[in-house]
Amino acid sequence: MSALVAARAVRRSRARLVTIVLLGAVLVIAALSLAVGAYSVSLPDLLATLAGQGNSKNEFIVLRLRLPRLTMAVLAGLAFALAGALFQALLGNPLASPDLIGITGGASVAAVFAILVLGLSGFAVSGFAFVGALVVASTIYLLSWRQGIAGYRFVLVGIGIAFMVQAALGYLLTRADVRDAQGALVWMVGSLSGTLWTEVAVAAISVGVLVPAVIVLAPKLRMLQLGDDTARGLGVRVDLSRVLLLAVAVALAAVATASVGPIAFVAFVAGPIARRLVPGTSLVPSALVGVLLVSTADFVSQHLLPGGVQVPVGIITGAIGAPYLLWLLATRRSRGEA
């Protein structure tokens, strides 16, 4: 029994350490995001403001301008990362991430259609994005269903759909007025600027419903990773569990994309980075990596670019995420681990 306990203790202490370090890093970035800017707030003033005791100027800057943006970064990072990690684990393929298989792309097409053709803005665009993601995900699911879902077929169908989605986006953009197209492009890159509390509230409620669903379904996910036969032999209703998990993952990706646009690469890299830190599928570290990625990238995009340039956050995640993934693939230790 002692070897068992020892083996388990090693893994748990590693997981705990990683979680604490990631949480610490998120707190540091959060404090920086709230304090630093054209008008900087000192740490004591920041804490006072957050406690409701700041002056009105600090209150406006921190609570009205910076905190909603930071909160949205946290929610979007969490939702993207969980969606990606769930997809990758369910389909047993690191390429099976909602941003590569056209699901966030579907959201983009619907949103860009709403902006350019229907002239909508705000929540209506988010609603279109959400529906677009669901439609694409259902299409992939139906097209790849052959008495069950095989990961590689799902990914191949998804990549095909992603190209169709790109074509549709290109068509919409080339047909549009240049200024309208500019607005649509910013949405397509993924941006957190000008986030309002009302938008944060909608995202927070959605994530607040979906995260408990992930917690409830996580034990079934762990069983599905053993293969369909083993999972069935252990008493898992395989097809039902997989559909529910996919639905939750799609909803998470859809909520995140609808809220902030398809921020590149977060869903794709959060899981692999977390797996590097803690072996096995670890949803909590994945979510924290996603939060850290988006909040850090947003801070960089606002304050750390040469010449004071500000760009949408999606440019930064793409610029950091892609090389990091290549490095992961080049240095991975064994097959199937990416």
Partner 1 sequence: MTESHTLTARELSLAYDGADIIDHLDVSIPPGSITVIVGANACGKSTLLRGLARLMKPRVGRVEVDGRDIHSYPSKQLARLVGLLPQHPVAPAGITVADLVARGRYPHQGWFARGTAADDAAIAHALEQTSTTELAGRAVEELSGGQRQRVWIAMALAQEPEILLLDEPTTFLDVTHQVEVLDLLMHLNKERGTTVVMVLHDLNLAARYADHLIVMAKGAIVASGAPDEVITVETVRAAFDLESVVIADPVCGSPMVVPIGRFHQLG
Which residues contact partner 1 (rule: CB under 8 A)?
1, 3-4, 6-8, 10-11, 89, 92, 219, 222-223, 225-227, 229-230, 232-237, 275, 279-281, 334, 336-337
Q: How far is the CB of 174 from partner 1 (least distance, A)?
A: 43
Task: Name the CA radius of gyration of the chain, rounded.
Answer: 20
Q: Report the alpha-carbon distance of residue 102 to residue 108 in Å, rounded.
A: 9
Q: How far is the CB of 89 from partner 1 (least distance, A)?
A: 8
Contact 110, 169 (CB under 8 A): no
Nearer to partner 1 (CB atom), residue 7 or residue 196: 7
Packed helices 151-175 and 103-116: angle between N→C axes, nearest 10 degrees: 20
Read off φ and ψ for residue 149, nearest 5 degrees. Answer: -115, 120
Q: Report the alpha-carbon distance of residue 140 to residue 144 in Å, rounded.
A: 6
Nearer to partner 1 (CB atom), residue 180 or residue 228: 228
DSSP 257-270: HHHH---TTHHHHH
Nearer to partner 1 (CB atom), residue 223 or residue 292: 223
Nearer to partner 1 (CB atom), residue 234 or residue 330: 234
Q: How far is the CB of 281 from partner 1 (least distance, A)?
A: 6
Q: How far is the CB of 246 from partner 1 (least distance, A)?
A: 18
Give 18's contacts (C-beta < 8 A, 6+ positions apart). Answer: 277, 278, 285
Q: How far is the CB of 154 from partner 1 (least distance, A)?
A: 16
Nearer to partner 1 (CB atom), residue 29 or residue 224: 224
